[in-house]
């Protein structure tokens, strides 16, 4: 990390801490802060976090619409990528990405796409209503 990156990272982390303490208000302007955006910026300034986040996105999202039609995603590979991200990235960068608070839908959707890609939880094929009914009836908790 270069010295200028350290100063930028320090200001981002400082803003993240003050936003948490003051209910997401920026200390210098009185405007609302975006802790998720700050966490993403901090991650991008750290070489390991940036590299692992890029690898995670490449693993969990098809590169082209043609690839998406052929294979929407490989959940096992995406889960492995998520585990590697959290194993290899320092908690000071991964936790703010995972636990940042959002006040609007756009922020929440960006956070979800960043740290919980759709590939990690969506099924390749959607079950029909009869399959769902059968599954629910066989599960004591669902009944």
Contact 83, 51 (CB under 8 A): no
Q: Please check whether residue 95 lies inside any domain of the structure.
A: yes
User: Minimal CA–CA distance to 35: which of 99, 79, 84, 121?
Assistant: 99
Q: Please check whether residue 115 lies inside any domain of the structure.
A: yes
Q: Within 10 Å of residue 137's Cβ, how many Cβ atoms?
A: 10
Q: Please check whether residue 92 lies inside any domain of the structure.
A: yes
Tens digits of residue pLDDT in 99-140 = 888 888 888 887 877 777 778 777 767 778 888 888 889 988
Q: Please check whether residue 64 lies inside any domain of the structure.
A: yes
Contact 92, 43 (CB under 8 A): no
Q: In which element (H, E) is residue 2 found?
A: none
- The whole domain housing 100 covers 35-138
Q: Please check whether residue 72 lies inside any domain of the structure.
A: yes
Contact 73, 60 (CB under 8 A): yes
Q: Which two tokens stand for residue 6?
A: 């350290």
Q: Please check whether residue 27 lies inside any domain of the structure.
A: no
Q: Please check whether residue 28 lies inside any domain of the structure.
A: no
Tens digits of residue pLDDT in 3-56 = 455 545 555 454 444 444 444 445 555 566 788 888 989 999 999 999 999 999
Q: Please check whether residue 114 lies inside any domain of the structure.
A: yes
Total domains in the chain come to 1
């Amino acid at each position: 990390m270069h010295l200028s990156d350290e100063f930028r990272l320090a200001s981002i982390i400082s803003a993240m801490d003050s936003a948490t303490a003051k209910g997401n208000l920026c200390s210098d302007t009185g405007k609302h802060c975006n802790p998720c955006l700050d966490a993403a910026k901090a991650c991008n300034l750290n070489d390991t976090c940036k590299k692992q986040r890029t690898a995670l996105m490449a693993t969990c999202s098809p590169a082209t619409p043609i690839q998406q039609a052929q294979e929407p995603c490989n959940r096992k590979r995406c889960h492995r990528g998520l585990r590697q991200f959290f194993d290899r990235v320092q908690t000071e960068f991964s936790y703010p990405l995972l636990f940042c608070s959002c006040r609007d839908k756009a922020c929440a959707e960006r956070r979800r796409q960043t740290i919980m890609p759709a590939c990690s939880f969506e099924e390749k094929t959607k079950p029909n209503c009869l399959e769902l009914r059968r599954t629910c009836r066989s599960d004591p908790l669902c009944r």
